[in-house]
Amino acid sequence: MRRIVIAGASSRSGKTTITCGILSALRQRGISVSAFKTGPDYIDTEYLRRSGKCEAYNLDTWLMNESGALSLFARASKADGISIVEGAMGLFDGGINGTSGIAKLINAPVVLVINARSMGESAAAVALGFREFDHDLNIAGVILNFTGSDYHEEIIAEALKSKGIKFLGALRRDEALEIPERHLGLLSANENEHCDFDRLGAKINQQINIDEIIRISDSAGELRPFGSSIQSGKKYNVRVAVARDEAFTFIYPESVKALEDFGAEVIYFSPLNDERLPDADGYIFSGGYPEIFADRLAANAPMLDNVRRVSAKGRPLLAECGGMMYLCRTLRDINGRTFAMPGVIPFDSYMAGRSVMGYMTGRALRDNLLCRKGEAVRGHEYHYGRIEPEYQEGSEAFALSRRNRSESKISGYSCGNVLASWLHVNLWGNPEITEHFLNVLTSSRL
């Protein structure tokens, strides 16, 4: 199984652009590719999916255990192709769940991407430091990004070679290839109309040593033994409808795969464009950018009314982050305008100036759609949104605590058929939660 990890020396190294370019370049050579992203990332995976013309999955040993991550990687990798894994942040950020930890878990060589803007030979010093920091990690080569000229590339390339570090090429500064950012990271691929992955792949084929990239991927060692993440042979004859459009994009593809592995039929709907919910046993209002599209969401009165009616009938509604903001009474958008929402949960949502980000454990304060009272759910938060009040006495959802910390905060809404919280959960790594959810859907239909 050929595989390689594309890691950055830091955030904003341009590794998403480089990874997308490598996926496209390999495709242009007729090589089958599989794509992965380390960490809890929804946005980059959509770019990887489009550039590789393949599904892209997350590898995260907090959201799923090591066996789950390995089984997902093995199952989603094409035996006759090359698996490309994009790292998160800097190579050594995040500990065992960071890029270096995932690279070791899947026993893959690493290509380091360095932002060479305003740097000369110091870029080689950075690469040398990364190589010497952990000798158990195979840093097989370096790609320079944002270089300005032939001379700029040559002086760094010579410095790299003098230290025995393989130089794999450089991508020149080109504003047309850069991906714009906003408050939750990169502009989503659905909204970025200027991404030309074929052009990017052609540039990568010209400026990066793709032949050497292929040889490096072929040097990966064996995967260690692992079990299956799906622990039950039971199948559920249920239909799950998931919100997915420009406003709601944050759903892990491996979560969908987990639902399907348990026999569920997964369909999609658009709170922006559809007038009513499809017929289903349960609904997932995924995260995303409702604050960007609040005016259009509010203008879709038939959908708002239908969401209220479906909830009143007792159909289970699971909402994460942006999905929770949508189910509130009101949503105040990024421009300070307030819009009426379905009002399924008795909160008002708004945007704040600071983000909340981190791995979390949610201990259920009552039986809910994902687990029983007292049970724990692992997930992550990343949002600028807030709800007011933060919780309502008698319908509190979770006591949330950060990874490796004991203090907790009460948050979210759990009442009857509705569970809404900031917590993003990966169902692939939590088969017991997936099965609990499907059991609730089955029983609610009786």
Residue 59 pairs in a beta bridge with 38
Would you say 88 and 39 are in contact if contact means Cβ atoms under 8 Å apart?
yes
Based on the number of CB atoms within 10 Å of its own CB, is 185 exposed (0-12), middle (13-18) or buried (19 or more)? middle
Separation CA 56–CA 65 (nearest Å): 19
Would you say 120 and 156 are in contact if contact means Cβ atoms under 8 Å apart?
yes
Confidence (pLDDT) at 309: 97
Handedness of CA 416, 418, 420, 426 (dihedral sign): positive
The reported pTM is 0.92
Confidence (pLDDT) at 167: 98
Separation CA 269–CA 275 (nearest Å): 10
Separation CA 10–CA 385 (nearest Å): 26
Based on the number of CB atoms within 10 Å of its own CB, is 339 exposed (0-12), middle (13-18) or buried (19 or more)? middle
Domains (range + CATH), the chain: 2-217 (3.40.50.300), 239-445 (3.40.50.880)
Q: Which residues are catalytic?
A: 321
Separation CA 298–CA 295 (nearest Å): 5
Closest CA to 258 of 288, 279, 284, 223: 284
Q: In the sheet where 2-8 sits, what is the strand order?
A: 56-59, 33-38, 82-90, 2-8, 110-115, 139-147, 167-172
Average pLDDT of each block of 10 consecutive residues along the chain (446 residues)? Answer: 96 93 97 96 90 95 92 94 97 90 97 96 98 97 96 98 98 75 56 76 96 97 76 85 95 94 97 98 96 96 98 97 97 93 96 86 96 96 91 94 84 96 93 95 83
The 3-class SS string of the chain reads CEEEEEEECCCCCCHHHHHHHHHHHHHHCCCCEEEEEECCCCHHHHHHHHHHCCCEEEECCCCCCHHHHHHHHHHHCCCCCEEEEEEEEECCCCHHHCHHHHHHHCCCCEEEEEECCCCCCHHHHHHHHHHHHCCCCCEEEEEEEEECCHHHHHHHHHHHHHCCCCEEEEEECCHHHCCCEECCEECCCCCCCCCCHHHHHHHHHHHECHHHHHHHHCCCCCCCCCCCCCCCCCCCCCEEEEECCCCEEECCHHHHHHHHHCCCEEEEECCCCCCCCCCCCEEEECEECCCCCHHHHHHCHHHHHHHHHHHHCCCCEEEECHHHHHHCCEEECCCCCEEECCCCCCCEEEEEEEEEEEEEEEEECCCCCCCCCCCEEEEEEEEEEEEECCCCCCCEEEEEEECCCCCCEEEEEEECCEEEECCECCCCCCHHHHHHHHHHHHHHHC
- Phi, psi of 82, rounded to the nearest 5 degrees: -125, 130
Confidence (pLDDT) at 406: 75
Separation CA 409–CA 65 (nearest Å): 25
